[in-house]
């Protein structure tokens, strides 16, 4: 399956899962909101152009916003992590290794620890920005930190469960293809 | 000039990112003021279709609960029928006076329109509910939405066949309400924390209030019909700063499983509004 088709399917699936499965889960605690949808951005191929990545983040977030009736909220957070992603990958991995061998970030292509750090940093940034935008009006500082940390923990748990359920073959990018 | 182009070329990604951020943030902060943005209208119709599909399946899971609720509501209404009352005096007979009902129709203030809830959220800070009834079916912005067991919110956006309701669980939501016993007026708001509870603020300390007391909508609202249940008192908190009570209220509507709602149309609103406008102009 081509990367384009695969990512289009993922785009739709992640939105639908977030809106019709995760958002329907009864709240466990007021700090916990199960977010998984942004994993789409974490999974995009390495060779996506920078501007395209940012634009895709914006469009992806906006599509979720249309379902939650909060235009701009998730779009802002997704644009931010999509923009930051290349820097994090640059720090965590030597350039040649990412460009040449595998097509997209995964445990197989990055190794467990680098991928965990990559997922943690982007999840944390996403949640911090999202809760910050939501919280701007009123609220206490403890509510803010509690919500960011608890939601980050839950999201990471969900990300690793997803990684285990859908083990992506770390496909080698050959020069021929 | 050349330097400007070089600068743009060098930071094109950053500039593009900042542009999208500004766009997203302006959408976010403007949506609260201008609910009827054109693109949102089209988007509502599309997301509404998805919600409708999902809801077609979801309704089956809460049928029993909905049936129970409707049965209680029906029983309440049946008990109000005139034929249920009979005075002991033999020369007095209760007849249903249909002529009178028709006579009264011209004075009707509130009209209840049934609507199906197809989209619902409780996890966000600002929650919206989607109804499968829109401007083609007589829904307009600022109409009240009530459920079988309590108020739900008010309409903030309509498209031809769907409408978006700002639920009680919205940070900008505020409804004037009072205690059924004791009648202290206060404001119902949500703090964005627990979707089961809202709070009723600014109730004067002179009002006697106990756990379980009913909180109802105010008779002076031109959106909500008077006497609709908001919820029940759960806990009374003494607010030291303003010397009034802040009351934690358990919502009458169970927002986790709301399936049916009534959009309430105020038929006398136009007249009231034009009167108020006349005062403002002078």
Give the domains, in start order, of chain B with CATH numbers.
34-74+106-267 (2.40.10.350)
Contact list, A29 vs chain B (CB under 8 Å): none
The pLDDT confidence band at residue A177, using thresholds 50, 70 and 90, is very low
Q: Are B129 and B119 in contact (CB under 8 A)?
A: yes
Tally of CB atoms within 10 A around A165: 7
**For A143-162, how does the pLDDT look when each residue is reduced to its tens digit (9 = 90+)?**
888 889 999 999 999 999 99
**For B22-57, how does the pLDDT look when each residue is reduced to its tens digit (9 = 90+)?**
988 888 877 655 555 556 777 778 888 888 888 888
Two structure tokens written together for B13: 């990604």
The answer to whether residue A23 sits within a structural domain is yes
The answer to whether residue A72 sits within a structural domain is yes
Is the pLDDT score of B100 beyond 70? no
Look up tokens 């359920």; give the residue: A165
Strand, helix or coil for residue B129: strand
Compare A27 and B99 and report the one with higher pLDDT: A27
Two structure tokens written together for B281: 């102009």
Look up tokens 């608890």; give the residue: A150
Nearest residue to B45 (alpha-carbon basis) of B136, B146, B106, B113:
B136
Mean pLDDT of A108-123: 88
> Can you give the residue range of the structural domain that contains A40?
3-165
Phi, psi of B279 (to 5 degrees): -65, -45
Nearest residue to B133 (alpha-carbon basis) of B149, B124, B145:
B145
pLDDT of residue B98: 61
pLDDT of residue A58: 94
Nearest residue to A112 (alpha-carbon basis) of A148, A46, A164:
A164
* Cβ neighbourhood burial of B159 (10 Å; 0-12, 13-18, 19+): buried
How close A123 gets to chain B, by Cα (Å)? 18
The answer to whether residue A175 sits within a structural domain is no
Is the pLDDT score of B86 beyond 90? no
Tally of CB atoms within 10 A around B176: 17
Closest residue of A to B121, CA-based? A23
User: Do the chains contact at B25 and A72, CB–CB below 8 Å?
Assistant: yes
Q: Which of B24, B59, B191 to mutate to test the interface with A (most CBs of A within 10 A)?
A: B24
The answer to whether residue A172 sits within a structural domain is no
The answer to whether residue A177 sits within a structural domain is no
User: Do the chains contact at B28 and A73, CB–CB below 8 Å?
Assistant: yes
Q: Are A30 and A139 in contact (CB under 8 A)?
A: no
ipTM: 0.81
Q: Are A38 and A47 in contact (CB under 8 A)?
A: no
Q: Which residues pair with B144 in a beta bridge?
A: B154, B264
Mean pLDDT of A33-51: 89
How many residues are there in chain B? 282
Is the pLDDT score of B245 beyond 80? yes
The pLDDT confidence band at residue A13, using thresholds 50, 70 and 90, is very high
pLDDT of residue B49: 86
User: Do the chains contact at A143 and B193, CB–CB below 8 Å?
Assistant: yes
pLDDT of residue B151: 92
Tell me what the pLDDT averaged over chain B comes to: 83
Tell me what the pLDDT averaged over chain A comes to: 84
Phi, psi of A14 (to 5 degrees): -60, -40
* Structural domains in chain A (count): 1
The answer to whether residue A111 sits within a structural domain is yes
Q: What is the CATH number of the domain that holds A145?
A: 1.10.1760
Closest residue of A to B40, CA-based? A66
Compare A161 and A31 and report the one with higher pLDDT: A161
pLDDT of residue A40: 93
Compare A80 and A133 and report the one with higher pLDDT: A80
Distance in angstroms (rounded) separating the CA atoms of residues B157 and B45: 11
Contact list, A27 vs chain B (CB under 8 Å): 122-123, 195
């Amino acid at each position: 399956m081509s990367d384009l088709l695969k990512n289009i399917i993922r785009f739709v699936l992640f939105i639908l899962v977030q809106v019709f499965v995760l958002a329907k889960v009864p709240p466990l605690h007021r700090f916990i909101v199960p977010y998984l949808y942004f994993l789409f951005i974490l999974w995009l191929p390495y060779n996506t152009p920078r501007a395209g990545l940012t634009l895709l983040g914006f469009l992806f977030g906006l599509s979720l916003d249309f379902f939650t009736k909060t235009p701009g909220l998730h779009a802002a957070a997704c644009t931010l992590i999509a923009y930051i992603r290349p820097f994090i990958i640059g720090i965590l991995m030597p350039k040649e290794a990412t460009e040449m061998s595998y097509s997209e970030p995964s445990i197989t292509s990055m190794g467990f620890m680098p991928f965990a750090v990559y997922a943690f940093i982007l999840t944390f940034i996403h949640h911090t920005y999202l809760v910050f935008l939501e919280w701007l009006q009123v609220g206490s500082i403890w509510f803010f930190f509690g919500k960011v940390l608890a939601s980050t923990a839950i999201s990471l748990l969900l990300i690793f469960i997803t990684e285990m359920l859908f083990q992506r073959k770390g496909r080698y990018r050959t020069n021929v293809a | 000039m050349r330097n400007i182009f070089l600068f743009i070329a060098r930071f094109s990604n950053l500039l593009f990112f900042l542009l999208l951020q500004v766009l997203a943030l302006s959408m976010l902060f403007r949506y609260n003021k201008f609910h009827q943005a054109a693109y949102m209208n089209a988007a509502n119709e599309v997301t509404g279709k998805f919600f409708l599909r999902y809801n077609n399946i979801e309704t089956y899971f809460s049928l029993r609960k909905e049936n129970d609720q409707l049965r209680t509501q029906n029983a309440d209404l049946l008990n109000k029928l005139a034929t249920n009352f009979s005075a002991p005096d033999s020369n007095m007979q209760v007849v249903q006076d249909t002529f009178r009902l028709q006579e009264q129709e011209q004075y009707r203030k509130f009209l209840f329109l049934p609507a199906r809830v197809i989209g619902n959220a409780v996890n966000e800070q600002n929650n919206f509910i989607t109804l499968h009834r829109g401007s083609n079916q007589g829904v307009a912005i600022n109409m009240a939405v009530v459920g079988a067991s309590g108020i739900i919110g008010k309409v903030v956006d309509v498209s031809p066949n769907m409408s978006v309701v700002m639920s009680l669980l919205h940070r900008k939501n505020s409804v004037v309400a009072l205690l059924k016993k004791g009648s202290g007026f206060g404001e119902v708001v949500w703090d964005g924390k627990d979707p089961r509870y809202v709070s009723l603020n600014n109730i004067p300390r002179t009002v006697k209030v106990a756990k379980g007391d009913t909180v109802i909508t105010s008779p002076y609202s031109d959106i909500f019909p008077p006497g609709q249940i908001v919820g029940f008192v759960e806990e009374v908190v003494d607010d030291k700063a303003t010397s009034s009570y802040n009351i934690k209220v358990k919502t009458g509507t169970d927002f986790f499983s709301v399936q049916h709602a009534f959009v309430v149309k105020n038929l006398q609103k136009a007249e009231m509004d034009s009167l108020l406008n006349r005062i403002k102009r002078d």
